[in-house]
Amino acid sequence: MAAVPSLAAAHAVIAVLEWFTMLIAVPAETEQNEGRVAATPETVKKFLGLGAEVVVQSGAGLRSGVTDADYTEAGARIAATPGETLSGADVVLKVRRPSASELPLIKRGALVIAVLDPYGDEAAVKSWADAGISAFSMEFMPRITRAQVMDVLSSQANLAGYRAVIDAAAEYGRALPMMMTAAGTVPAARAFIMGAGVAGLQAIATARRLGAVVSATDVRPAAKEQVASLGAKFIAVEDEEFKAAETAGGYAKQMSAEYQAKQAELTASHISKQDIVITTALIPGRPAPKLITAAMVASMRPGSVIVDLAVERGGNVEGAVPGEVVVTANGVKIVGHLNVPGRLAATASSLYAKNLYAFAETLIDKASKALAVNWDDELVKATALTRDGAIVHPAFLPKA
């Protein structure tokens, strides 16, 4: 007759199984103006289906409308402190980069997946390498068909464009659509969107839905058709340089000083007639280009509103102040809200968490239910900044 395993032996087997379980940690964000969270109950369930254990720091989802009870019901374990949350984690999911207080709590060899914002901060990248973590920066995801579901820049910019119009309408103080009433006709507001990327196109669509007369500009030739398809008028200097002004990745190129001068002249005359202007111009790894000068601001009517979505990167608007709504001497409001997608935290978190899950899923072997990073995968090579104590991304390698 076979011997019955002892209780101690059973506990030992359970302990071994737990030791091999992949642990995914979701700490609360430490930045004061960051209300997003890196996992939702929906993605927690999906990670559990991949064989992982998920631990979420208490309160991590509250500003996105997700309670600890919601996470518990989905199958996550709740931890009280950052230390308890991060202890032993194989994968750390965040919105922003790890803070100086969090980094020592993450074990060497762990994968950290977040929007790391490394440009211009080589010291931070080195600190991640020194900490021995494998840091993946989600905003470096290549723009290929396979990675569309992982594209955090698009998912968050889409919301930023929408929120920019809502913020502009709130500050404007007048109605946006034309209204024909017994007391008279209210003219439609004129809105000008500068930059027709993901954020700009959503801003155009939202302003149109609210009834504004919309125009837009962009230095990429492909944008002209996209702007027109949304019912807006396209404004640009369409010379030979304009026809070649797009990178292979779909971003705008840095334009020559001559082109910028011609475009600025056209823009200046157009802006003076606008009620709302929204700027969205950003080039990865570079300061935001200045699109609107103080003279252009001064030419606008009192009560007009400018929303600068690039204010965290130096701003597109002269006079914009990060985190503030500035009222100029001639009564124009310049809106410089920080973390605009985070102003729609619940929706932004839902999309961002799905982006993270779609990428993290590619790093997990479904048969063994364990991490199996393919370091030759184009998604991994594009997003990995550090590995095994070294900086591995070509853009951040020390210069000879």
The pLDDT score that the predictor gives to residue 20 is 53
Q: Among all chains, which residue has been given the structure tokens 């990060």?
A: 322
Q: What is the pLDDT of residue 170?
A: 97
Instruction: Kindly report, residue by residue over 306-329, the tens digit of the pLDDT.
Output: 999 999 999 999 999 999 999 999
The count of other CB atoms within 10 Å of the CB of residue 10 is 11
Structure tokens at 204: 């155009």
pLDDT of residue 247: 56
Sign of CA dihedral 162, 153, 155, 220: positive
Show the DSSP H helices in the chain as ranges.
7-20, 41-49, 68-74, 82-86, 122-130, 152-172, 198-209, 222-229, 240-243, 257-271, 294-299, 345-361, 378-383
In which residue ranges of the chain is pLDDT below 70?
1-20, 243-254, 400
Query: Among all residues, which ones are annotated catalytic?
Result: 143, 148, 151, 154, 251
Beta-carbon contacts of residue 188 (< 8 Å; ≥ 6 apart) = 176, 177, 178, 211, 212, 213
CA–CA separation, 69 vs 331, rounded Å? 47
Radius of gyration of the chain measured on its C-alpha atoms: 24
Q: Could you give the 3-state DSSP secondary structure of residue 67? A: coil
Q: Please enumerate in sequence order all residues whose Cβ is within 8 A of that of 17, keeping only pairs 6 or more positions apart, or say none.
A: none
Domains in the chain: ranges and CATH: 7-150+344-389 (3.40.50.720), 175-339 (3.40.50.720)
Please provide the DSSP assignment of 207-240 as one string: HHHTT-EEEEE-SSTHHHHHHHHTT-EE----SH
Give the count of beta carbons closer than 10 Å to the beta carbon of residue 249: 9
**Contact in structure between 222 and 307 (CB atoms under 8 Å):** no
H/E stretch holding 137 reads: strand 134-137
Residue-level pLDDT at 7? 53
Per DSSP, 194 falls in state E
pLDDT on residue 66: 98
Q: How many helices (H) and strands (E) does the chain have?
A: 13, 19
Of 186, 203, 185, the C-alpha closest to 195 is 203
- For 170, phi then psi, to 5°, come to -65, -35
Are residues 176 and 211 in contact, defined by beta-carbon separation less than 8 angstroms? yes
pLDDT (0 to 100) of residue 15:
40
